[in-house]
Structure 1
Amino acid sequence: MNTTTHLRALALTATAAVALSACGNSTSSAGSSKTSTPSSTTATAPVGSNEKEAATVNPRVLLSHDQGLTLLDAETGKTLKETKKPGFLRLSNAGDGRHVMVSDADFLRVFDMGISSQPHGDHTHNYTYEPGLAERTFAAPKAGHVVPHAGKVSLFSDGAGTIQTLDADQVGSKTVEPHTAKTKAPHHGVAIALPDGTMVHTEGTKDARKSIVATKNGKEIARTDDCEGVHGEAAPHSEGDDVAVFGCESGPVVYRDGDFHKVKVSGYVRNGNLAGSHESPIVLGDHKTKKIDDENAEAEHPTKVALIDSRNDSLTTVELGSSYWFRSLARGPELVVIDLESGKVAKRISLANTPVEMAVVDGVAEAPAHKEAHEGHAH
């Protein structure tokens, strides 16, 4: 499944998503990873069972809504699975091309999308499985950001200030436990695991955040306190998978070559929502220039986006001519979410429930452990 096809599939469903959301709410307590019983579904076989090899697999789309989760075939629009689970559910790709993490208050639940494409020499083996909510559950008070990168996935708990990290291809395992690290205080944060064992993560409190630290073998190796309101991250292309960009309210920060580099801007500039690609050193970000101190003030609707060059710590803007919001941001061959060949909406799908969030997989790992793993393959 190539990138164009993947984006076309996304476009078919995106037209139906009238409301998308990112940062959530939640309450209460919990500890580390454990297994719990998911909500009831219409499954006739255990989730993840019935492995069958297939000639090809179509991308699949998971939608969350106030009644639960709906799984669609992105090419046909057919509903493959309905899971009843009322509540506010946020969705994040786990990084293995097969699983999606469902943020559900104080837990991160694993949804098996039921497809997998595994590179093998000069060809690919495709498989299908029984889809649905798996038994695997990660306890994470006020479950927050999920960040897949270079074969790892990091799960941040805003309520506990903890980071759980494990191999992305082990997300569906019932036995593999994540490595858990703890920040100094609970806060709305984010973390990314790098291939050399470095963990780059935010530090802060529930009231203020301005610090990012890099740790290795339990020791701090680099730090910056120059990222007021730090929020969000993206991993661009780099030779060693060791670069990460973080959003701030005073210009972004780039972690590169073992140190932090500030992107210089003039005045208040917030680039808190970022989108990266392992094929480009340029990170796409929102670009807000009005500081809003009153929570009742009208939200800013920017028309410019930021292009952050992770190689030289520079920022340029592009005027779109129309406003957007954070869920509009995505990296692709043309940074659009329409049929790239015709420039038109190819199909509309009627849904029984109004979507809140959306996740798309095509079976191929979005964050493979090694770049060379996919070289020579037409994904």
Structure 2
Amino acid sequence: MQKSNLRRSLTGALALGAVVVLASCAAGGDAPAAAGGESSAEKAGSRVALAYEGGILVLDGVTLETVADLESESFTRLNAAGDDRHVMVTMSEGFQVLDTAAGSADKPELTDVIFDADTPGHVVRHAGKTILYADGTGDTTIFDTADLATSDGLPEIQTVAGVEAHHGVSVILEDGTFLTTVGNADSRNGISVGDASGTEIATSDQCPGVHGEGTAKDEAVVFGCDDGALVYSDGEITKLTAPDQPFGRMGNAYVSETSPIVVGDYKNDVDAEGYLLDAVTLIDTVDKTLDVVDLPDGVEYTFRDIVRGPNDLAYILASDGAIHVLDPETGEIADTFPVVEAWEGPAQWQDPHPAIVVTGDIAYVTEPASNSIHAVDLTTGDVLTTAKLDVTPNEIAPAAGSGK
């Protein structure tokens, strides 16, 4: 059943936050401290992995000091593996495992463990599983996330063979239900859902350009389409149509597994140049609605610039240099935290540009223009620590350690 759409505007709805305090302007500055005790980063022994051209830095999550500098291929993508310690690095041979040593006394290491994949793509973490998708074959590799820390070499894996190769994504739910995108080298048009035995139980071809995945509360799964989104819930697929047609694209989902509302990116001009976007989608997976919220003037972002954080809020790192706190329940900007200098969108999506990731209540924000990284307390907006790097940061992935 298809529900109606709503487009809203937030122009003029900004609420200015407190003045930012710089705790340190160099690596090794004061550690962040939360009110009433240690921050989540201090408790965790956390790490942050940063990719740069030809290498990967591993930083201490509190001081932002470099604890390892590892060689890699010239451009790599980083994704948290899901166990608060390891990171999946996309290399030419497949997904290589980076051990950040978060929560331990070990040294960080780019291990010899590689999950073979022809053109490694999306990494999904859900229900204690890590799910790897190979664009070159359409194959999905699944393993128990916890096994990364205990296996000598590759953990035991399950492989679901792809039907046709395409840039896709898969997810497996608690009961073994397996969802995967459908497409080929020329186009992508929907999803297929199978039960734990492999029997197809639902399918949809009403999602042109299907891209991205997010699992919300009660395992409602959202996939983005060029004209809206698909929601899978309780054995049924619902198509949600964007207010702009024929092109109103959502391609990336930012979720919290304790919130029924998915925040997605949004683009309604197929010919628009560049990668900056100025609106978001709010998808209610219970009511099955898709709303579009126009952001205030000057608040633009890329796919690297939205995360979910404390209280299930959405945190948008915008080109004006601030983190804008969006309440998904109301669609309103609740606060604004200045963090970095204003920046312009990248010429190519792979080019270094500011990014944000979250561990607990701490956000890590890259600033490639100044070769810097900042730790921000999302409960106050304070910049706790800033580190100057000797390289230009690109991709980033957190590892919370044992105290998440």
Task: State the TM-score, normalizing by the size of structure 2.
Answer: 0.70
Distance of 1:287 and 1:12 partners within structure 2: 35
- Aligned twin of 1:251: 228
Ranges of 4+ aligned residues in structure 1 off by more than 4 Å: none
- Contact 2:46–2:62, Cα closer than 8 Å, also in 1: yes
Distance 1:135 1:280, change over 3 A: same
Of residues 257, 260, 270 in structure 1, which corresponds to 2:237?
260
Look up the match of 1:227.
Answer: 207
Equivalence map 1:134-283=2 (5 Å): 134-172=111-149, 173=151, 174-216=153-195, 217-238=197-218, 242-266=219-243, 267=245, 268-283=247-262
The question of 1:318 aligning with 2:293 is answered: yes
Look up the SS of the partner of 1:277 in the other structure. Answer: coil
Deviation at 1:182, TM superposition (A): 1.2
Q: Partner residue of 1:106?
A: 93
Structure-2 residue corresponding to 1:299: 274
Task: Tell me how far 1:351 sits from its aligned partner.
Answer: 0.8
Cα distance in 2 for partners of 1:280, 1:87 equals: 37
Q: Report the alpha carbon displacement of residue 175 of structure 1 after superposing the two structures with TM.
A: 4.9
- The residue type equivalent to 1:359 in the other structure is A
Task: Name the amino acid aligned to 1:66.
Answer: E
Preserved CA contact (<8 Å) 1:274 1:329: no
Structure 1 counterpart SS, 2:304: helix
Q: CA deviation at 1:171?
A: 2.8
Shift of 1:300: 5.7
Kindly state the Cα deviation for residue 12 of structure 1 after the two structures are TM-superposed: 9.7
2:207 partner letter? C
Cα offset, 1:85, TM superposition? 1.8
Choose the corresponding residue for 1:358, options 396, 401, 404: 396
Pair 1:329–1:56, CA change in 2 (3 A): closer
CA contact (8 A) 1:94 1:148 kept: yes
- In 2, the alpha carbon distance for the partners of 1:341 and 1:222 equals 41
Deviates more, 1:297-306 or 1:253-262: 297-306
Which letter maps to 1:109? Q
Amino acid at match of 1:275: Y
- Contact 2:262 / 2:282 at 8 angstroms: preserved in 1? yes
Partner of 2:108: 131
Q: Paired residue for 1:86? A: 73
The structure richer in strand per residue is 2
82-91 or 227-236: bigger deviation: 82-91
Runs of 5+ unmatched residues, structure 2: 1-21, 28-41, 316-362, 364-375
Question: Distance in 2 between the 1:168 and 1:212 partners?
Answer: 24
Give the C-alpha shift of residue 237 in structure 1: 1.2
Listed one character per residue, the Cα deviations across residues 160-191 of structure 1 (whole Å, up to 9, x for unaligned) are 11000011111342253311111211100000
Q: How does 1:2-17 map to 2 (within 5 A)?
A: none
1:225 to 1:12, Cα distance in 2 relative to 1, 3 A: farther
3-state SS in 2 of match to 1:171? helix
Deviation, 1:251, is 0.5
- Measure, in 2, the Cα distance between the counterparts of 1:205 and 1:197: 25
Q: CA deviation at 1:361?
A: 1.5
> Kindly tell me: are residues 177 and 213 of structure 1, through their superposed partners in 2, closer, same or farther at Cα, counting changes over 3 Å?
same
Q: Cα distance, 1:316 vs. partner?
A: 1.9
| CA displacement 1:113-168 (0-9 Å, x = unmatched) | 1124xxxxxxxxxx443321122110000001010101011100001110000111
The answer to whether the Cα contact below 8 Å between 1:290 and 1:300 also exists between their aligned partners in 2 is no
1:42-86 residue CA offsets vs partner (Å, 9 max, x unmatched): xxxxxxxxxxxxx94332100011121100012101111110123
Closer, same or farther in 2 for the Cα pair 1:175/1:251, shift >3 Å?
closer
Give the distance between the partners of 2:165 and 2:184, measured in 1 at CA: 6
Q: Could you tell me which residue of structure 1 aligns to residue 384 of structure 2?
A: 346
Distance in 1, matches of 2:146 and 2:199, equals 27
Tell me: CA distance 1:159–1:344, structure 2 relative to 1, closer, same or farther (3 Å).
Answer: same
**Cα distance, 1:207 vs structure 2:** 1.1
Distance 2:23 2:112 in 1: 30
Paired with 2:189 and 2:382, the residues of 1 have a C-alpha distance of 42
User: Given the superposition, is the C-alpha separation of residues 203 and 344 from structure 1 closer, same or farther in structure 2, using an over 3 Å criterion?
Assistant: same
What residue ranges of structure 1 are gaps of 5+ in the alignment? 1-10, 17-54, 117-126, 365-377
Aligned pair count?
300
Report how far residue 97 of structure 1 moved: 1.1
- 1:156, 1:60 → 2: CA distance? 25
When residues 147 and 341 of structure 1 are mapped into structure 2, their CA distance, relative to the original with a 3 A threshold, is closer
Give the match's secondary structure for 2:125: strand
- Give the Cα separation in 1 of the matches to 2:145 and 2:379: 33
Specify the alignment match of 1:19 in structure 2. none
CA distance in 1 between counterparts of 2:131 and 2:380 reads 38
In 1, Cα distance between equivalents of 2:377 and 2:263: 21
Q: Partners in 2 of 1:168 and 1:198 — Cα distance?
A: 17
**Which residue of structure 1 lines up, in the alignment, with residue 31 of structure 2?**
none
What is the TM-score when the length of structure 1 is the normalising length? 0.74
